[in-house]
A and B are shown apart, each in its own frame.
Chain A
Amino acid sequence: MTVAAGIGYALLALGPSLSLFISVISKKPFLILTVLSSTLLWLMSLIVLAGVWRAFLPLKSNTWWPFAILILTSVSFQEGLRILFWKVYKRLEDMLDAFADRLAKPRLFLTDKMLIALAGGLGHGVAHAVFFCISLLTPAFGPATFFVDKCSQLPFFLVSAIIALAFVTIHTFSMVIAFSGYAEGNKVDQYFVPAVHLVAGMVTLVNFASGGLRGWHSSPLFHGNLNLVALWENGYEKIIRNQTVIHSR
Chain B
Amino acid sequence: MAQNRRPKSVIDSLGEEIVRIVTPVSICMFMVVVLVSILNTGSSSSASSFNSIATIAYNETTSDSFWEKFKGALFNSLIFVAAITLATFVLVLLFYLRCTYFLKLYMGFSSFLVLGFMGGEIALFFIGDFNIPIDSITFFVILFNFASVGVLAVFMSKMAIFVTQGYLVVIGVLVAYWFTLLPEWTTWVLLVALALYDLAAVLLPVGPLKILVELAISRDEDIPALVYEARPVTNHDSESRNGVVRRRVWRERSSVGNGSDDNLNSGTNSNLSLDSDSVVDSNLTCGTVNSIGSDHNDRILIGAEQGQVLEREAELSAPLIDHRTSDQLHRQENSASRENLLLEGIGLGSTGAIKLGLGDFIFYSVLVGRAAMYDFMTVYACYLAIIAGLGVTLMLLAFYQKALPALPVSIALGVLFYFLTRLLLEVFVVQCSLNLVMF
Contact = CB atoms under 8 A, between A and B. Distances in A.
A29 B14 contact: yes
A33 interface: yes
B125 interface: no
A74 B22 CA distance: 31
Contacts of A220: 438
A30 B14 contact: yes
A204 B433 contact: no
A105 B427 contact: no
Contacts, number: 164
A160 B433 contact: yes
A207 B387 CA distance: 36
A39 B10 contact: no
Interface in B30-74: none
A112 B14 CA distance: 12
A22 interface: no
B377 A135 contact: yes
A18 interface: no
Contacts of A131: 377, 380, 425, 429
B435 interface: yes
B311 A103 contact: yes
B425 A50 contact: yes
Nearest to A249: B2
B11 A164 contact: no
Given A29-B16, A30-B11, A106-B10, A133 B433 contact: yes
A47 B435 contact: no
Interface string B364-399: 000000000001110011001101100100000000
Determine which residue in B8, B376, B435 has the highest number of CB atoms from chain A within 10 A of its CB, and name it: B435
B433 A50 contact: no
B427 A138 contact: no
B438 A128 contact: yes
A138 B376 contact: yes
B130 interface: no
A105 B315 CA distance: 14
A152 to B, nearest CB: 13
Interface stretch (A81-89, A94-102, A181-189, A224-232): A94-102
B307 to A, nearest CB: 11
B364 to A, nearest CB: 15
Given A29-B13, A54-B428, A135-B433, 5 more contacts: A28-B12, A33-B391, A104-B308, A105-B10, A148-B436
7 contacts: A33-B391, A51-B420, A78-B439, A102-B309, A131-B429, A204-B437, A246-B2
The 5 closest A-B pairs by CB, nearest first: A50-B428, A201-B439, A29-B19, A100-B10, A207-B436
